[in-house]
Amino acid sequence: MAIVVRVVTGIAWGLLALMNVALLFGTPILPVWLQVLLIGLAFIALFCLLIRYNRGLAQWRTAGIIWFVYCTLRLSSAWLYTGGISFLRDNLAVFAMLLATEAMLSGWFALLVLAIRRDVSLAYIVIFLVLGAPVIRALVTEAGGVLNFLSGQAAEDSFARFSLAEPLVMSLSCMGALGPVTFLPHLAWLLIRELRGH
């Protein structure tokens, strides 16, 4: 079993690296359907790796690091996109965006496995309620009013800008959904453990 896991992990790492490299250099020349296929394969490989490393991911610090990586990649992507150099704009900015998307999926997965493996339901609800309100107010201010916020009309091109509210909204929405959902199962598990006396 251990050998199978090792082989599958190796294949997944290789496939992920290969697909990302292919997308980095092939984006301007490859047809769209092939790009979508490559992205799909990269995501499958990533999903395998996330399941393989789920234990390590189910930690607050890991989730925090992943979302920090997402911020860095999105910041890089926005900076490369607005840099004015065509290669950076067409290749590296898109590649950074792809990596940011992978980081985002990993961040969501980390929050999910953390909520499954550990009873963080109340912490999720509290973080969602404490940070949710100021984040929404910041988003409304950033969008230039409630009308722009509700109609999704941003002041600038979303690819070219990045704000801290973006990862916050994504992680908080995940926490806000997972917190109430995982509360009762974890409580039931606590009660079962209590009845068993260990």
Partner 1 sequence: MGNISAQTNETYRLNILRLPSHTFILFALIALVVLGAAFASLLPGSQLCWPPIVLGLTLLPLRDFLRRPDRTIARWRMAHRQDEATATIESEMASLGATGLPAVVTTDRPLGIHAFGSFRRAYLGIGRRLAQTLSSELKAPGGRRRDCFRAMLAHELSHFLNRDVWLMWLSYGLLKMMVVVMALNLWIGVSLALFAIGNGPEVLRPEFWTALSQRMLPDAPGFDLRPVYDALYRQNPLLVERLADPAQRLENWRPFFLYFVSAHWPFAASGLVLFLVYWRRLLRVRELYADARAASLMGEAAIVREAQTRYSVLVDLAAAAPSRWERLRKWLANLPTRIPILGKPFALHPPPRERKECLADPVQALGSWQWIAVSAGLAVVLLDFLLRGTLTASYIYEPGPHLPFLAAFLVFAIWLLPRVAQGESLHPGLARQIVLIVLLFTAIKLLPHLADAVAGLLILRGDQETWGVMMDLWAYSMGSGFVTELPRIVGVEVSWPQFIEWHVVRPITYFALLMPPTLIVFLLADTFLKWRALTWYRLGEQVRRVFWGTSGLMALALALVVIPIYNRLVFPHVYQGWSVATLAGMAIAFVAALAGGLVFWHYDRKLGKRCPDCDTAVPGTYHLGKKCQRCKRYLHPWLIANY
Site residues for partner 1 per CB under 8 A: 119, 122, 126, 129-130, 133-134, 136-137, 140, 145-147, 150-151, 153, 183, 186-187, 190-191, 193-195, 197-198
Rounded CA gap, 75 and 163, in Å? 8
Cβ of residue 147: shortest distance to partner 1, in angstroms? 6
Burial of 92-122, coded b for 16+ CB within 10 Å and e otherwise, reads bbbbbbbbbbbbbbbbbbbbbbbbeeeebbe
Rounded CA gap, 101 and 6, in Å? 26
If the CB atoms of residues 64 and 134 are measured against partner 1, the closer one turns out to be: 134
Cβ of residue 20: shortest distance to partner 1, in angstroms? 38
If the CB atoms of residues 105 and 136 are measured against partner 1, the closer one turns out to be: 136
Cβ of residue 167: shortest distance to partner 1, in angstroms? 20
Nearest C-alpha neighbor of 111 from the set 65, 178, 166: 178
If the CB atoms of residues 129 and 181 are measured against partner 1, the closer one turns out to be: 129
Cβ of residue 173: shortest distance to partner 1, in angstroms? 17
Contact 74, 166 (CB under 8 A): yes
